[in-house]
Amino acid sequence: MAGRGIVLLLSVLFAASVGVCHGAAAAPGPGYVTVSTASFVTAGSASTCNSPDPVAAPTRNGTSAVLRLTHRHGPCAPSRTSSLATPSVAAILRADQRRAEYILNRVSGTGATKQQQQQPGDSKSAAAATVPASWGYGIGTLNYVVTVSLGTPGVTQTLEMDTGSDLSWVQCAPCAAPSCYAQKDPLFDPAQSSTYAAVPCGGAACAGLGFYGDGSCTTQCGYVVRYGDSSNTTGVYSSDTLALTPQDKVSSFFFGCGRAQAGLFTGIDGLMGLGRQSVSLVQQTVAAYGGAFSYCLPTTPTAAGYLTLGRPSTSGAAVATTQLLSSPNAPFYYIVMMTGVSVGGKKLDVPRPVFAGGVVVDSGTVVTRLPPTAYAALRAAFRAAMAAYGYPTAPPTGILDTCYNFTGYGSVTLPTVALAFGGGASVTLGGDGILSFGCLAFATTGGEDGGVAILGNVQQRSFEVRFDASSVGFKPNSC
């Protein structure tokens, strides 16, 4: 019975959302949602893939380019990734805390090295290419991956998708342990690609690396990237053909050819940087895709999500859009203004200045971090609403201090949580965006009120999150 309870608690991470397509029951009243525990599925316990080939292609501006998107440990996972060990909840939350602390320090300027300012590209409308995103983990946290092809002939590479960094990289052959860690796909071998070129010193591309340059250029341009959890990669800045899909190719794509990696990388072949700086994939492809992209993070291991380069269609549900801000200390992050939080349909009494530092929309942070006063108000309101249903509480799990034991329950009723943003945008979360690991999936920033917050990927799941040069938008029930 104890083992069954643990599985059920962990399975809340993948709880079905409130939409019909995610299997939620009818809500008992305004401001609440009832979710069947039968829909709580973990990657390890799921046995049936609900997204068989071919995956339906989301249409964008009359074009579509889709790659299969799967949970790394679920039944839809490709064989090369399905054998990866699932990290423990404790390990996930420890790494998540390191990443969150790094982001908060960068934006606030505490211990941060300033990076080169963004050089925005052309934001004109263009065709769109849709690339798959998969549940995965890398750089120590539960993140998402896409599968692309690099070089000529193309070599399949599974890359972590990261909105919080710019430079894309893969591990390159020859490279033996411990300089390179084990990965499931073959190492990219630049000697076998007819379109590969190392970036020389002294050129514009090498100079454009800015903060990412290793400072020791002799003949070939070197790069270095250090992440918030102390992971790092170094190697040769290079260019080659990147195939997002067989129909959507990026010639002379600049990336890091990794020769030495260290830290918490696990199973992935590298990273796809989607930040705001000129070296990111978004800015490198601005002529083709207009500097816009969007993604939908899947809610369960049996579902599919996607990453789209280009402007998505505006059909279907309304999109809540808010203005994109900038930070002089961290111009690569996507920051918007949060203005309030509601629980059970009632807005919490939190002064607006508490949110003055803005919120980073980050694909790599797991749970959302709120300023202390906002988190305390959210926690108190959520606990009071849950107490009315008599659910037994459970001990804290790492940074998560509001946890429950749903063993034996056929369904659970949750108060809705809504986040308000600048410009009147409001996002109402489903059950999958409220609970994770059996706990309220929010935590405090640990800093002062008025400081920066972080919108984690748990709260983004099932929304199409849209980015362009001036705004961030949220479209519900998109995957």
In the set 162, 166, 229, 248, the catalytic residue is: 162
Residue burial 231-241, b: 16+ Cβ < 10 Å; e: rest: bebbbbbbbbb
The tokens describing 181, both together, are: 């860690």
Short-list 10, 255, 312, 261, CA closest to 139 = 261
* Helix (H), strand (E) at residue 390: none
Catalytic-role residue among 166, 240, 269, 362: 362
229 is catalytic: no
Ramachandran class of 399: left when φ > 0, alpha when ψ lies in -120 to 50, beta otherwise: alpha
The pairing of strands 435-436 and 338-343 is unpaired
Using the CB atoms, write b or e for 126-154: b if 16+ within 10 Å: bbbbbbbbbbbbbbbbbbbbbbbbbbbeb
Q: Which two tokens stand for residue 468?
A: 């362009």
Q: Which of 452, 160, 192, 176 is nearest to 328 (CA)?
A: 452
The answer to whether the beta carbons of residues 114 and 328 sit under 8 Å apart is yes
CB 54 within 8 A of CB 466: no
Task: Count CA atoms closer than 13 A to 317's CA, side-chain side.
Answer: 16
Active site residue 362: yes
Q: Which candidate, 180, 209, 197, places its Cα nearest to that of 269?
A: 180
Contact 239, 206 (CB under 8 A): no
CA atoms within 13 A of residue 244's CA, in its CB half-sphere: 27
Cα–Cα distance measured from residue 420 to residue 443, given in angstroms and rounded to the nearest whole number: 17
**Whole-number Å distance between alpha carbons of 255 and 244:** 14
Amino acid at 246: P
Looking up tokens 């949060």 gives 338
Dihedral sign from CA coordinates of 161, 222, 99, 454: negative
Residues annotated catalytic, as ranges: 162, 362
